[in-house]
Structure 1
Amino acid sequence: MPAASTATAPEASDEPLMSTGRLALFSVGAMAAMLLSLLDENIVATAALPITSDLDPEHGMSLLPWLLSVYLLAATATQPLYGKLSDLFGPKKVYLFAIVTFMAGSALCGLAQNMGQLIAFRAVQGLGGGGLMSLTLIIMATLYPPKERAGGSGVGGGLVALGIIVGPLLGGYLSQHLSWRWIFYVNLPLGLLTVVATLFALRLPPRAHQRERRVDLPGAALVTAAAAGLLLIAQWGGTEYAWSSPQILGLSAGSLLLVAAFAWWETRAAEPILPPSLFRDPVFRIAAPLQFLAGFTVLAVTAYVVTYLQVARGLSAQSAGQRLAPMAIGVIVVMFSSGKLISRTLRYKPVLLLNSAITVVTLALFGTVDETTSALHLGVLLVLLGFGLGGVVQVVLQTVQASAPPEQLGVATTGTRFFMTLGSGFGVAVLGELLNNRFLALLPDGVPESARGSAGKAVAALRTAPPELRDKLTHAYASAVDTVFLTAAGLMLLALVLAFLMPDVRLGAADEQEAA
């Protein structure tokens, strides 16, 4: 379909599905579930040192990458399965299962006695966490028509912003004043609130499309193994193993075979978890790679803004996290303003193009910062980066939901988030490798040979280097981070091209719906 063509978004009936009181109660529970998902993406990193010191002082740091990545692996791999289960069995039952699994994993993490147990229980937590945000979005899309979803996206922006700010702060506070175990126990009351609100308030419309309930277990196993393999390549490549090592090459070949086997199987499965028809849809066909690039650039770059603040500006981890507050403001502003514009113009594409263009320019401007850039300058850029974090990712998801038929709302939502999360996992690893290699290439004369073997050792040399060498090292690191930002800007420019190719989905009036 050409970019100028128009697709009409299906719109829900004007009849309320639930009373105002029930809707309000469930919305509170839904916001608690979304906050759980957002908090758990960054709360553990701030408590990494207390965790490893308590459970395994000698070897804990070597196991830390697994602790941080196993949740992402489990949550990413299960997203497509949650979408298909939602379409087959209804989102309410699957939603409750995801929340209870997440709570069980959280309780077990808090009780862990060694790093091996904590990593295993973190995987259980990720199995439930993979459905928290996606299923909440599916249910909200079922309850609210597209115009109301667009207009209310400012609330979602507030939650994203809250997760950005509160996650690192809460993780640091609980670890310092109570125990690192409370970063997991805090999930239990919020999860219980969500379960109670869902059981007593949520009433969904009867399912119009009844079909045989066959769960595509082979497809689920193949996509889980393929996603895990791809993320492990991104995590291990260039760090644990060289890119040309037998381990990475073998893992790459195996992952590609799994992807091919999954694609073949999905054309034959009775109820595929990622139906081939999704990729024949002109909206999803553009949205999938666009979300991958958005996750790769915007979500991953946030991590390197923090490292820039710590290394090039000398801030502590907690202070660097606090400096992200302007980005949270940008997320709130863009989600609120984008929702209003979409509701007023009844179109998604112009808003997506505007937000994508702002993101490209912002990332390019980030490529000019150095160790002397003022706090005000950085604050303005972080506000604009929030436009990318909230404006691009959210509007693409809304476009997919607005164009998806009701019987595929689940797989369309989770499929879109799957590509975004996969892109984020790749972006953090690949851009991190680029940062490390560039930093090592820019190391000035005078750095000891023992510190030239790894970026971590070179950064550690900053603490003991004389003032003149420290200034050169700081400048080298800031220049390396600039390379990361400029690379991300180039990739986001490709995403802007995809945004131009996105079909112009409209929120049509009732008579347009009937005509369609």
Structure 2
Amino acid sequence: MAQDQIPQQGEAAAGGADPDPDAQIIRSPREIRIVLSGLLIAMLLAMLDNMIVGTAMPTIVGDLGGVNHLSWVVTSYILATTASTPIWGKLGDLYGRKGIFMASIVIFLVGSALSGLSQNMNELIGFRALQGLGAGGLIVGVMSIMGALVPPRERGKYQGMFAAVMAVAMIGGPLVGGTITDHLSWHWIFYINLPLGALALIVIAITLHLPKIRTSGRIDYLGAGLLTVGIVALVLVTTWGGQSYAWGSWQVAGMLALAAVSLAGFLRVEQRVAQRGEEPVLPLHVFRSRNFSLICALGFVVGFVMFGAITFLPLYQQSVQGASATNSGLLLMPMMLGMLVVSLVVGQAVTRTGRYKIYPVIGTLVMTAGMLLLSRLDTGTTRFTSGLFMVVLGAGMGFLMQITMLVAQNSVALRDIGVASSSSTFFRTIGGSFGVSLFGALFSSRVTDTMTSRLGASGGQAIAGHAQLTPGMLSHLPAPVREAYDHAVANGVHSIFLWGAVISVVGIVVAVFLEEVPLRATPKPSSEAESQVAVEV
């Protein structure tokens, strides 16, 4: 094959060819839909897992014991997922996205099987970390493969499907988890991943054909190690701060210092990595793109607001409105439906017009309006009214969720699309971690203050450390205490959503400064070429 040709479907590049690393293979809509089915299953695996596990945790603790380590079952998964995300993205860019993606599925399934076989809490925590390691590759792999298969302008047609997967995971996860735990065993909440993962592997292996990249470049292991330490330290700060330890404690301060030193060292290493003939795990040149840097900042804001809302809305509806905890996933349905419908409409509009800047601006405005409406929740708000408020918030997120990924991928060369996908996912995840942690500390403080003002110091002390009481615990509270607690929760969510609106305003400012960079409508080779060998697999 000549050096300036693009490998086509089913065509292998000659051994000495230098195909364009920024070229995309032309696919028919039917081929894309077939591959998409495997990608959607993989995305569902990654997003559904935590929702299912959360519902089964009381049963797991009752069986395995180790209640003091309960939080680490979730924390270990989040740590592994977040820390591995940038590395998975770079590995896909270096060594081929198909093989790396399938490896992440296998790791996730092995972690799932071992988690189901756990005999004590320490084993479960370790195997959940292995599962989270694979999950980081699932999310990044799906997005980067879509970026390699579909030109940016056409990508909008498919983005609503990923929003639908998120809605299914949020709503169906607790229902599935509760049903399995009640009628089978908690072990099956992990085993259910195995047939789904096997199906995804088969579909991907048979239908996905991408150029397999072989490069002589070596990954920057020192930079990867420093970045991993920095990310783990940051996640621990957001997990521990205001919950396990006070924000001013030496544990939290120590993690902040470790994060700062590690990330500073990472930046220094990445600036000099080319001198060692290695490939940077997170190329700093991608941040020279104004749009890329801004969209990562916007992703942080979206994650901060979204995960904060998702965490505390069910708590309000269960505690104040008396909703069932078993059906907690259904409580978020208005928000998910708003997000799904808007995401589908926006995706089609982006594909038709090729323009996108207006949508982040509208999305941040609507998201801010949704947060302001939700700040009006009180003890007398009906479920219908709170549902309408959630629709507004969901609509704002629908304008933003997939657009942030689209702009990130459109701001870099195709050779860096894995890095773009992992960076967008990473900043949204870190934003969510900070949002849940800071909102949680704010909520606990407001609940304690309100209980103290209504019942005196004894009331505040009685609720301290138990700001999030279970419905079963609430039913045993004396009537005056229960009434005071309802007002305390309402005041807590009022503060959360009011501050969430302030954070959303920052998102508006960021969105306004985005530039309208045309989206490619067809695969287009770059003028640059790299010494790589590509073959169809």
Fold-level similarity (TM above 0.5): yes
Q: Residue 350 of structure 1 corresponds to which residue in structure 2?
A: 358
Cα–Cα, structure 1 residues 12 and 357, in superposed 2: closer, same or farther, change >3 Å? farther
Structure 1 counterpart of 2:26: 16
Query: For the Cα contact (< 8 Å) 1:99–1:195, is it kept in 2?
Result: yes
Q: Determine the C-alpha separation between the residues in 1 that align with 2:308 and 2:468.
A: 20
* 1:323 correspondence with 2:335: no
User: Secondary structure in 2 aligned to 1:142?
Assistant: helix
Q: Check whether the contact 2:299–2:427 (CA below 8 A) recurs between aligned residues.
A: yes
Letter paired with 1:314: G
Q: Render the CA deviation track for 1:312-363: whole Å, top value 9, x for unaligned.
A: 2222322332111112211210110110221222111101111111001000
Residue in structure 1 matched with residue 165 of structure 2 by the alignment: 159
Whether the 8 Å contact between 1:299 and 1:389 is mirrored in structure 2 is no
Give the match for residue 233 of structure 2: 229
Q: Distance in 1 between matches of 2:521 and 2:467?
A: 60
1:197 matched to 2:203? The reply is: yes
The aligned residue for residue 428 of structure 2 is 420
Shift of 1:451: 5.5
Equivalent AA in structure 1 for residue 427 of structure 2: F
Match of 1:474 among 481, 486, 503: 486
Is the aligned partner of 1:493 residue 2:505? yes
Greater shift in the superposed pair: 113-122 or 342-351: 342-351
Cα separation, 2, equivalents of 1:378 and 1:224: 40
Correspondence for 2:394: 386
Letter in 1 for 2:487: H
1:210-247 CA-to-partner distances (Å, cap 9, x unmatched) read 64231121111111111110111111112222222222
Q: Offset of 1:454 from its aligned partner? A: 4.7
1:40 paired with 2:49, answer: yes
Normalization by structure 1: what TM-score? 0.92
Distance 1:515 1:139 in 2: 22
Change (3 A) 1:458 1:291: closer
- Paired with 1:193 and 1:512, the residues of 2 have a C-alpha distance of 33
Please, which of 302, 306, 313 is the counterpart of residue 310 of structure 2? 302
Give CA deviations for 1:18-67 in whole Å, capped at 9, x if unaligned.
794x54432221110011111013221111100100101xxx33211111
Contact 2:315/2:468, CA 8 A, preserved across alignment = no
Are the equivalent residues in 2 in contact too, given 1:110–1:181 (CA < 8 A)? yes
> Would you say the 8 A contact 2:226–2:266 is kept in 1?
yes
Moved more, 432-441 or 396-405: 396-405
CA shift at 1:466, angstroms?
A: 3.2
Q: Distance in 2 between matches of 1:222 and 1:75?
A: 16
In structure 2, the partner of 1:437 is 445
Match of 1:7 in 2: none
Q: Assess if the C-alpha contact under 8 Å between 1:312 and 1:478 holds in 2.
A: yes
* Aligned twin of 2:60: 51
Taking a change above 3 Å as real, the CA distance of residues 18 and 93 of structure 1, as seen in their structure-2 partners, is: farther
Query: 1-side partners of 2:204 and 2:329: how far apart?
Result: 33
User: Structure 2 vs 1, CA of residues 184 and 510 (structure 1 numbering), >3 Å: closer, same or farther?
Assistant: closer
Amino acid at match of 2:158: G
Question: By how many angstroms is 1:515 displaced?
Answer: 12
Q: CA deviation at 1:459?
A: 5.5
**Partners of 1:62 and 1:313 in 2: how far apart?**
30
Aligned partner (choices 15, 18, 34) of residue 25 of structure 1: 34
Partner in structure 2 of residue 248 of structure 1: 252
Please give the secondary structure, in 1, of the residue aligned with 2:517: strand
Separation (CA, whole Å) in 2 of partners of 1:143 and 1:457: 49
Query: Contact 1:89/1:213 (CA < 8 Å) preserved in 2?
Result: no
- Give deviations 1:249-270, integer Å, cap 9, x for gaps: 1221111101111111111123
Separation in 1, partners of 2:431, 2:229: 16
TM-score by length of 2: 0.88
Match of 1:3 in 2: none
1:348-390 superposed Cα distances (whole Å, 9 cap, x missing partner): 1101111111001000110001121112111112222222333
Deviation track 1:135-170 (CA, whole Å, cap 9, x = no partner) reads: 011111111122221122221121111111111111
Distance in 1, matches of 2:483 and 2:51, equals 30
Aligned length: 500
Q: Would the aligned equivalents of 2:172 and 2:329 in 1 still touch at CA under 8 Å?
A: no
Task: For 2:28 and 2:140, locate their aligned partners in 1 and report how far apart those are by CA, in whole Å.
Answer: 21
Unpaired segments of 5 or more residues in structure 1?
1-9
Distance change >3 Å, CA 28–CA 355, structure 1 → 2 = same
Gap runs ≥5 in structure 2: 1-20, 529-537
Kindly indicate whether the alpha-carbon contact (under 8 Å) linking 1:11 and 1:146 is maintained by their aligned counterparts in 2.
no
Shift of 1:300: 2.3
Alignment match of 2:518 (pick from 488, 506, 512)? 506
In structure 2, what is the Cα distance between the partners aligned to 1:77 and 1:458? 30
Letter in structure 2 aligned against 1:75: T
Report Cα offsets for 1:396-435 as digits up to 9, x if no partner: 1111112221111110110111111111111111110110
Assess, with a 3 A threshold, how the Cα gap between structure 1 residues 275 and 11 changes in structure 2: closer, same or farther. Answer: closer
| 8 Å contact kept, 1:153–1:339 | yes
The correspondence of residues 184-223 of structure 1 with structure 2, limited to 5 A, is: 184-205=190-211, 211-223=215-227
Aligned counterparts of 1:19 and 1:291: Cα–Cα separation in 2: 29
CA distance in 1: counterparts of 2:232 and 2:135, whole angstroms: 16
Task: Give the percent of matched residue pairs that are identical in Structure 1 and Structure 2.
Answer: 36
Tell me, in whole angstroms, the C-alpha distance in 2 between the residues paired with 1:511 and 1:153: 19
**Aligned pairs (5 A) from 1:98-113:** 98-113=104-119
CA contact (8 A) 2:295 2:408 kept: yes
The letter of the residue matching 1:126 is G
Instruction: Provide the residue aligned with 1:396 in structure 2.
Output: 404
Q: Which residue of 2 aligns with 1:334?
A: 342
Please point out which of 181, 187, 191 is paired with 2:187.
Answer: 181
Separation (CA, whole Å) in 1 of partners of 2:344 and 2:29: 25
The Cα of 1:12 is off from its aligned counterpart by 6.5
In the alignment, structure 1 residue 261 sits paired with structure 2 residue 265: yes
